[in-house]
Structures are given as structure tokens and as C-alpha cells.
Structure 1
């Protein structure tokens, strides 16, 4: 039998990640992750993302699509590489001077939850219709990706309600630090390659960043010093729906990832 990987074409995960707007969700997750003082310190002190933001983005995208669409062996190899990389990294909490491990389960859990919640939020607000049970199923499926980075799946929120409770528990420990403010600014106005910063592409890139910010929970926008008004949520939802429908009109084969193309071929499926 052909290996369908960790999820397979009948999974909610494949349905969610078929939506191109999940890329906006990925950006949204970075804004959320930056609000955890130790998570953002770990990135700032160990990553070269400022020197090579688009290379970092490409590597992260390749990891995510490999885990979703690759064979079980490919997904496990990708997870093992991430675990080895994280195991070598430490950082210093600038508030306390304490050194900590980047693979601390609390940090891994924060990154995982913000990522999958952002993917799901972007897809749903972009027009993907899922029942509450299907949304719960997505989180349940994603505990498999949590295991790849070294988390015990039993410690990972696996439903919409569990994710909401997790955010409630984490909010007192979140704050806007110098690192998170600098990261947020960089995400909003990143350097563009090939001189594109002097073209209309800059405006389009800023629009995507603004949408990612608008899709943040109100409490997260407030931490960044931005409006947490209900009107902002409504405007962001309308913009996400418009973008989701626009992207949905583009032929899948034009924008699908190489990993998905290989999976479709491997499983003998058509778009």
C-alpha cells in the first residue's frame, strides 16, 4: 500500500492546508509567538532570520509541507532534524539573566499551538467551511506534528475549547518586550529581494502583514498597542474572505507546494 503519511487526503489537515490563505496564518502565528518573551528571545539569539528572512521562510514552509504531505518516514526525518537543531540551542532571558533551553516543552507547545491555531483561523475566516467537530478533529490530528518536535501529545491542546483555555492560561505570561516589538516591526516591513521594495510589491506585502495583524485575537493586538475593537475583527474577516476567494480561483497546480504535488502523484490523486 502507498504511504499516505501522517494524515492523508481524507484528513481535515489536508482540507485546511489546501487553502492558500494559510500562508497568512503562518505570518499571524509569528506575531503571536513573538509575544512570549522567552520564545522570541530564543529566535533572536539563535536565528539569522534578519539576514535571510526569505530563506528562513522557505525552509519553514518546506518543513510544514513535508510533515503534512510527505511519507511517514519523510515526516519523521524532518522532525528529527528539528529536534537535533533545537537540542543544541540555548538563550538568555533578558529580564532575569537566566539561561534556558530552546527545546523547553513550554516554548515548543507555545509555538505549536500558535501555529496550528493560526492556520485554522486563516482558513476558516478565508472561507473554508468546517463544522465544530471538524475543527476539533484538526487540532486532534495536529498532535502528531507536536510529537515530531518532541512534545508529549497528551500535553497539547487537541480541541477548540482546549486551545481557548490554553490561551487564557498563557496570557498572564505574555508581554511586549523590546525583542517582540522589533520582531513585529520586522515582520510588518521586511526587506524585499531583487529591489522589489521600491515597487508596488511593497504595498502588497504590507497589506498581507496588515491582514495577519487584523486576524490576531483582540488581546494580542492590544499587547502590540493596537486597537482591539470588534470592528477590526469584522474588517479583517471581510478582507480574509475576499482574499481567500481570490486565491481559491487560482488553479491549484499553479500554487501548490512541491510536497503536495509529489503526494498527489504518489497516491494517484487528482486535484
Structure 2
């Protein structure tokens, strides 16, 4: 009997699979990083000059890994549980009409402060500081907020770095040692301090203490749940984008605590997450790793 999987058909199948993987990876790259993300990234890395973050820092390992896609989504979900921080997003952000804009701006900012020459990094920080000055108001409960408030800047920072590290532990290509995680927290503190945050943690123990300190402030809100729905089902995705994005969002949500997921009305299935969600998310992220030049 002649095998259906002859060398020619196997090669053709391989080309089709590669084309599908490339389409998914390219779609996600464009959606999250923007149409010229690759060129901007290459230009930034090639630019000469001193960097804000040392070249041997674990910050560059974490922020340069595709697992940041999961970490970034997890950070946005986590940050939404501080009602005053979420009010600033709900009242001043255009995420309802441009749900990808926030991810793109965050990716650009993190890329600049981590990998760009120090002049560009500091300029990016000043741009964010100037934007923060315009973001202020009151929550639906009448609580005042300001994006320039050191306390809220501290929350945004610790929620981000906790999310980035949580994602890297599970999905990162290379794992950090406890000492490297401590250094990550210490090295990235300079960014939060320059943005105006106070009492910025510089070790994992300080990060855990800061998260415990903020725990009583966290609660569910209509704005947080609405933002979660937009993140779970963002409008306008192509078929290729949906294939790649779905597992990445699910993987991000699975890294939140049970308490946090209940607040956001996200499902909790511990066994399914371990046996299904994490492997599928790893495959989705591998599309991005596979597509990137070495």
C-alpha cells in the first residue's frame, strides 16, 4: 500500500503549517506592536549609547521575552482592581474604541526604558509624566484620583512587575533564579521612581509586602468588569489573531489569584488550567518565538 504521507505531501503539509504559523505570528505582532514594530525594535537595539538598564540586567531578559504578552494582559487585569486607578483608565482612556492602543503604548514605553539609549528612555518617561498630569478626577463613589499620585504610581508599578515575573516563571524561555528576581525588582525600580512613585520595592520580599499592603484597597467595580470583557473579547480581530490571542488572554487570567478572578468574574478551573490552558498558551507564545529573528 502506498503511504499517503509521501515525502512530497509531508513537505507540502510542512509548508502549509509554516504559513499558518507565520500568519498568526505576524498578525499578533502587528496588532500589539503596530505595523512597524519590527523596524522600530531593530532601530532601537542598534542605536549606540548608554542604557538606563544595564545590559546584564535580568530586566532585559524578562522584558525581551515573548511571555511579556501574557504578563502585560495580566498586569492590566490586576491593575483594574484598584478602583481609583481603574477610574483613571475608564474616564480618560479610549480603550473602548481602541482596545489595542494601551497595549501598544505600554509595549513601546517598556521597550524604550529597557533597551533604548538613555536619552530616549528618559524622554519616554517625561512624556508619560506629562500625560499623567492631565489624568485626574473622581470615581463613581466620589473618591478623588490623580495619575500623578505617588501611591497610585506605586500600585501600577508593583502590579506590572508582579505580572511580568509571574508570566516569566511559567512561560519564559529562560528562568530566573531567586537572586535574579531580586535584581530584576531592584533594577526596574529606577523607572517607577523617575515616574514619581513612592516607596518603590527593590527586592522580592519588599514587592510581596507592597502587594499585601494594597490588598485591602482591591475590589470589583463595574469599570473593571467592563474592561475585562473588552480584553477577553476585543472587537475587530481577524481569524488568525483570534487563534493566537485567545490562549494568551486565558493564560494571563489563569495567573491571577482565585480571589482576583472572582472579583473580575473570570472562571476558575485549576485542573483545566494546569493540564490544558498552560500547554495551549505555551504553544501560542511559541508562534511568536518561532517568528522572531535570532
Q: The TM-score by the shorter chain falls in which range?
A: 0.7 to 0.9
Distance 1:245 1:160, change over 3 A: farther
Q: What is the CA–CA distance in structure 2 between the aligned matches of 1:212 and 1:183, rounded to whole Å?
A: 14
1:47 deviates by 1.0
Q: What is the CA–CA distance in structure 1 between the aligned matches of 2:50 and 2:278, rounded to whole Å?
A: 33
1:33–1:111: 8 Å Cα contact kept in structure 2? Answer: yes
Q: Secondary structure at the match of 1:100?
A: strand
Q: Specify every segment of 5 or more residues in structure 2 that has no aligned partner in the other structure, as ranges.
A: 1-47
2:244–2:284: 8 Å Cα contact kept in structure 1? Answer: no
1:240 deviates by 4.8
* Residue in 1 that maps onto 2:196: 150
Deviations 1:182-204 (A, max 9, x none): 111111111125xx2xx353343
CA RMSD across the alignment? 2.1
* Residue in 2 that maps onto 1:63: 109
Q: Specify every segment of 5 or more residues in structure 1 that has no aligned partner in the other structure, as ranges.
A: 254-270
Bigger mean CA deviation after superposition, 156-165 or 200-209: 200-209
* Residue in 2 that maps onto 1:220: 260
Distance 1:43 1:68, change over 3 A: same
Q: TM-score, normalised by structure 2?
A: 0.76
Distance 1:54 1:244, change over 3 A: closer
Q: What is the CA–CA distance in structure 2 between the aligned matches of 1:78 and 1:171, rounded to whole Å?
A: 30
1:90–1:102: 8 Å Cα contact kept in structure 2? Answer: yes
Larger RCO, structure (CA 8 Å, separation 6 or more): 1
* Residue in 2 that maps onto 1:264: none
Q: TM-score, normalised by structure 1?
A: 0.82
1:215–1:237: 8 Å Cα contact kept in structure 2? Answer: no
Larger Rg: 2
1:8 deviates by 3.2
1:22 deviates by 0.9
Aligned residues: 245
